[in-house]
């Protein structure tokens, strides 16, 4: 199931045409997107790709047609970038783009809808309660504790990068946690806390040809894998190879691929999971359809473990840009570093 470096393919740079790297945007993850996009842009340009940056927060997307852009690398994160909206606009403009299509992007961005699909497919995910607008009264919030118990995680279901997320350990914390999450989303997701190891697994391709990259095991100080530690410190330890037993690694990869296929994802993505310490049962947390590409990001780290450097990964991803109506691009894994 993992990428075989011996079967890695080459990408013809001259066939890509003019590439726009979409970065920045208007979401709460704008700063991270600017870092991701800047890295992608520099990598593509270093390989001779005719690439330029494009910030939808500062320019109208219709300018892409005027610029003669042939394809877009979506390095946007969060709302209006990872949720199907930009994908839909590019569909209307007829400009192929990286990553999942409109429906898969929209569904994967919504953690509640994602859970409904995974549960329907028999895939493991933590128990949860969704508080809709108007359901944030003290009684309704306290009722969550009876359904899920403590500790639990409270988060906005349509944000990423741990924005608005709180680990609730005592009953008195839940009201404040719901208030915080509601600043970012009308709905609030309350989720069973899984005590154990956090892991992530990137995937490439689509359909029957999806391939899993190596699993990364994440060790954060006191479990604080939050926004600050994800992007702006070096205190988090990443283990790739993961050091997990071979059977556990294979099972995480299997679940990553199954969860990706269930949502209809394509191009690339990254599944985040927890392994429960008590019985080593893995649980799917979320699917990222436009993962980070910063210096701290996990997809490049995993790819490098099988000999695929950052620039070649970016080149492979953009070479597989397409529209929903187009047939899948034949999978050839990215070329390894020389």
Of the candidates 37, 81, 272, 319, the residue annotated as catalytic is: 272
| 16 and 95 both lie in a single domain | yes
The answer to whether the CB of 226 falls within 8 A of the CB of 162 is: yes
pLDDT at 329: 62
Query: Cα–Cα distance between 268 and 210 in angstroms, integer?
Result: 9
pLDDT in tens, 62-102: 999 999 999 999 999 988 999 999 999 999 999 999 999 99
The answer to whether the CB of 181 falls within 8 A of the CB of 141 is: no
pLDDT in tens, 290-299: 999 987 899 9
| 116 and 145 both lie in a single domain | no
pLDDT at 225: 46
pLDDT at 231: 45
| 186 and 226 both lie in a single domain | no
Residue 232 sits in a domain of what CATH number? 3.30.470.20
| CA torsion through residues 276, 109, 64, 10, sign | positive
Q: Is residue 216 part of a domain?
A: yes
**288 catalytically annotated:** yes
pLDDT at 159: 80
Of all residues in the chain, what percent carry a pLDDT higher than 70?
89
Structure-token match 């930009």, residue found: 86
Q: Is residue 143 part of a domain?
A: yes
Q: Is residue 277 part of a domain?
A: yes
* 242: nearest Cα among 286, 282, 193: 282
Q: Is residue 179 part of a domain?
A: yes
For the chain, the residue count is 338
Distances (CA, A) of 255 to 141, 196, 258, 261: 32, 17, 5, 10
* 288: nearest Cα among 200, 168, 193, 223: 200
- Band (pLDDT 50/70/90 cuts) for residue 336 is low
| 120 and 262 both lie in a single domain | yes
Give every CB contact of residue 123 below 8 A, 6+ residues apart in sequence. 255, 258, 259, 262, 284
Q: Is residue 330 part of a domain?
A: no
The widest CA-to-CA distance across the chain, in whole angstroms, is: 61
**29 catalytically annotated:** yes
| 232 and 120 both lie in a single domain | yes
Give every CB contact of residue 31 below 8 A, 6+ residues apart in sequence. none
> Read out DSSP for 173-219?
GHHHHHHHHHTT-SSEEEEE---EEEEEEEEES-GGG-EEPPPEEEE
| 113 and 228 both lie in a single domain | yes
**231 catalytically annotated:** yes
**In the chain, how many domains are there?**
3
| 151 and 206 both lie in a single domain | no
Give every CB contact of residue 229 below 8 A, 6+ residues apart in sequence. 220, 221, 235, 236
Lowest mean pLDDT among 31-35, 122-126, 134-138, 189-193: 134-138
222 has pLDDT over 80: no
Helix or strand (DSSP H, E) at 160 = none
* 117: nearest Cα among 225, 258, 298, 326: 258
| 46 and 83 both lie in a single domain | yes
Top pLDDT among 176 and 220 is at: 176
Query: Cα–Cα distance between 242 and 251 in angstroms, integer?
Result: 13
**222 catalytically annotated:** no
Q: Is the pTM value of this prediction over 0.95? A: no
| 115 and 238 both lie in a single domain | yes
Lowest mean pLDDT among 171-175, 265-269, 287-291: 171-175
Q: What is the mean pLDDT of residues 206-219?
A: 92
**292 catalytically annotated:** yes
Of the candidates 30, 79, 270, 322, the residue annotated as catalytic is: 270
Of the candidates 33, 288, 297, 302, the residue annotated as catalytic is: 288
Distances (CA, A) of 111 to 41, 69, 166, 292, 320: 29, 32, 16, 18, 26
Q: Is residue 37 part of a domain?
A: yes
**267 catalytically annotated:** no
335 has pLDDT over 70: no
**10: containing domain:** 5-99
| 277 and 149 both lie in a single domain | no
Residue 35 sits in a domain of what CATH number? 3.40.50.20
Of the candidates 24, 25, 27, 29, the residue annotated as catalytic is: 29
> Read out DSSP for 271-303?
EEEEEETTT--EEEEEEESS---STT-HHHHHH
Query: Cα–Cα distance between 225 and 228 in angstroms, integer?
Result: 8
- DSSP assignment letter at 15: G
322 has pLDDT over 60: yes
- Of the three residues 175, 192, 209, the one that is the final residue of a domain is 192
**161 catalytically annotated:** yes
Q: Is residue 331 part of a domain?
A: no
Q: What's the distance, CA 293 to chain centroid?
A: 10
Of the candidates 100, 105, 161, 297, the residue annotated as catalytic is: 161
pLDDT in tens, 238-284: 999 999 999 999 999 999 999 999 999 999 999 999 999 999 999 99
Of the candidates 97, 184, 231, 310, the residue annotated as catalytic is: 231
The answer to whether the CB of 4 falls within 8 A of the CB of 56 is: no
In whole numbers, what is the pLDDT of the chain averaged over residues? 90
CB atoms within 10 A of CB 58: 9
| 161 and 80 both lie in a single domain | no
Of the candidates 37, 84, 99, 292, the residue annotated as catalytic is: 292
């Amino acid at each position: 199931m993992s990428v075989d470096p011996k079967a890695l393919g080459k990408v013809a740079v001259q066939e890509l045409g003019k590439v726009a790297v979409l970065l920045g945007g208007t979401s709460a993850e704008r700063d991270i997107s600017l870092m991701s996009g800047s890295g992608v842009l520099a990598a593509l340009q270093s390989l001779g790709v005719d690439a330029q940056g494009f910030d939808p927060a500062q320019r109208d997307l219709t300018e892409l047609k005027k610029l003669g852009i042939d394809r877009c690398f979506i390095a946007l994160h969060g709302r209006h970038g990872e949720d199907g909206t930009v994908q839909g606009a590019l569909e209307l403009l007829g400009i192929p783009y990286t990553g999942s299509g409109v429906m898969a992007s929209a569904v994967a961005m919504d953690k509640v809808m994602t859970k409904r699909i995974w549960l329907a497919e028999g895939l493991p995910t933590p128990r949860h309660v969704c508080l809709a607008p108007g359901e944030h009264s003290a009684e309704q919030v306290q009722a969550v504790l009876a359904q899920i118990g403590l500790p639990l995680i409270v988060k906005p279901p349509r944000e990423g990068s741990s924005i608005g997320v709180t680990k609730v350990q005592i009953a008195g914390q839940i009201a404040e946690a719901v208030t915080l999450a509601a600043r970012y989303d009308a709905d609030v997701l309350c989720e069973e806390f899984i005590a154990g190891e956090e892991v992530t697994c990137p995937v490439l391709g689509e359909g029957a040809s999806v391939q899993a990259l190596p699993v990364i095991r994440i060790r954060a100080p006191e479990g604080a894998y939050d926004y600050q530690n994800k992007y702006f410190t070096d205190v988090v330890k990443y283990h790739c190879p993961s050091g997990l037993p071979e059977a556990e690694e294979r099972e995480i990869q299997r679940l990553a691929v199954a969860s990706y296929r269930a949502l209809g994802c394509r191009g690339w993505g990254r599944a985040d999971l927890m392994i429960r310490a008590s019985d080593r049962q893995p649980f799917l947390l979320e699917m990222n359809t436009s993962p980070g590409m910063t210096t701290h990001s996990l997809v490049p780290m995993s790819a490098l473990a099988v000999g695929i450097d950052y620039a070649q990964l970016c080149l492979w991803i953009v070479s597989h840009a397409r529209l929903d109506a187009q047939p899948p691009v034949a999978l050839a894994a990215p070329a390894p570093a020389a």
